[in-house]
A and B are shown apart, each in its own frame.
Chain A
Amino acid sequence: MQQITEKRLNEHGINIHFIQSKKYKTINFIAKLKAPLERETVTKRALLPYVLKQGTKNHPSRKDLQLKLDDLYGAILSIDSGKKGENHILTYRMELANPKFIPEETSIIEEGIDLFGEFLFHPYAINNAFDEKIIDREKDTLKQKINSIKDDKMQYANMRLIDEMCEGEAYALHVHGYEEDFNSITPESLYNYYQTLLNDNQFDLYVLGDFDEQKMRDHITLLMKRDSIKTANRTVEYPVHKDREPNEVIEKQNVQQAKLHIGYRTNITYKDDDYAALQVFNGVFGGFPSSKLFINVREKNSLAYYASSRMESHKGLLFVFSGIAPTDFEKARDIIREQMTAMKNGDIKDDALSETKDLITNQLLETMDHPQGLIELLYQQVLGEKEMSPNELLNNIKHVTKEQVIEVAQKIKEDTVYLLTSEGGQANE
């Protein structure tokens, strides 16, 4: 098995992670700023990526910034905000071509780090405020993003399922924020919030590729500094609905295909000892084309084009997704429930178990071949507050037994059935 060595340092309040690898023709930089998901800050954090992309101190417009990136052999610089469990993460990414493969002499690594540091710490601002025109324009961009979710039925159904299932919990907060907050966000208040988060969010910086570590460290520590005393890993506790009766929600729209999405509580997260067994559970149940869901919903009964499950690692949720004809709702729901019951009853063939473990291993190794995939995998440890290297995780998966998978299955509780279906409830053939 390939060895992945992650070297960790803490410099000026930043956790730096260096990973050396000769697999890639590029060098990847990823910075992650983590804070609890909260109603008060959710829209600000959703808006920030749009605003920060518009320019930096020395490259004050979107155009200047892009031309600089083009000059750096088409370097990619991006930022987004996302939900991981009940954390709201700002992720900054930069990917640079490795100068080793560039036909001419170039100093793109040094210039790239300068630009990345500036992108993080010195956004374009006037008198300690963002540019009002940019804020107004980007509120529009975000507003359209929020509205466009309705037009992607799969995404919409996911969002609605979580709304219903996690009502009152932080996880139900919409990661793109809320239009009703826009009025209270000013160029000054957003800038102030950004200064605060730069100092008090947990800050992890990953560098992956084939590079000179000492030079990289010297250059980074010169540019990226913050007051480490203020850094606190704040967490907020939220109530969780426990042991309630399964809820069924049916919503009607003008659609051709119905989306049947079901949410479960796994009661297991990354920290727990049975996390590896949960991965195997998900694989046997619905993670692959050889899983129970695909075989029974699609292949045996021809009810759907897709039918699969996905686990959420930090909040302890599991989702089933399928796209079906509106008339097949009860039939599809019952078949999905039968598959869950079969899992709880231990109706799992030995070879299905070992095949699933091979498939998960394959999937993880493939993820580790992908630069951003590898970094996301390593960051799971920060999110889960547990040290478990990818190789340990692989090893744990290998040792999962059928009994452990059954125990996991028995912990899982169905919470909400959500159906988005056609108006009139009849098939729209």
Chain B
Amino acid sequence: MGLLLSIKKKFSFILRLFFKKDKMRIGIYGPPNAGKTTLANRILRDWTGDVIGVESEIPHETRRAKLREGVKIEVDGKTLTIDIVDTPGIATKIDFHDFLKYGMSEEEAKRRAKEATEGVIEAIKWLDDLDGILLVMDSTEDPYTQVNVTIVGNIEARGLPLLIVANKIDLPNASPARIKSAFPQHTVVPISALKGINIENLYRAMAEKFG
């Protein structure tokens, strides 16, 4: 069973060339507070008119993966139909004390921290059921973190198509160039999911990568 899974992972990119799916299941990944839900909501607002989840400045707002099926994106006359999975932020540490500064009670902070740990596990498990990844990074932060490196490594090991989304370019200290230089082997698309800046470029890149 393990061998079969390993073979499937290793040659999945070859299989994809011959057996393209009608509908791709795309996961939105990244560290907490990178803007994953903001991006998911932007895509859904643009193409379906609704949203998938609550956006918040408090880390680990999304603690359960959320799936929206059958989102149709039209770019340059081509239609891309995708299922979107908005995943919880991946982290190596979750300290409930970090939530106290947002005015939560200790009990509430501990509950959020516990749910966040479950969310990280859920996000990692989802990697085995996806056909492509949008990896969201905050352009104002150092992209060279272990979480980003681990996510990219796992996506590459599975042979999944990957687009790196350099988010928050509307902020003054944003540097998408830093992300490009940290991950030169991948396509990086600078956007602001919040303001919708460059979002058309992202849809074009998605159609090219996942279509």
Bound together = no
B interface, CB within 8 angstroms of A: none
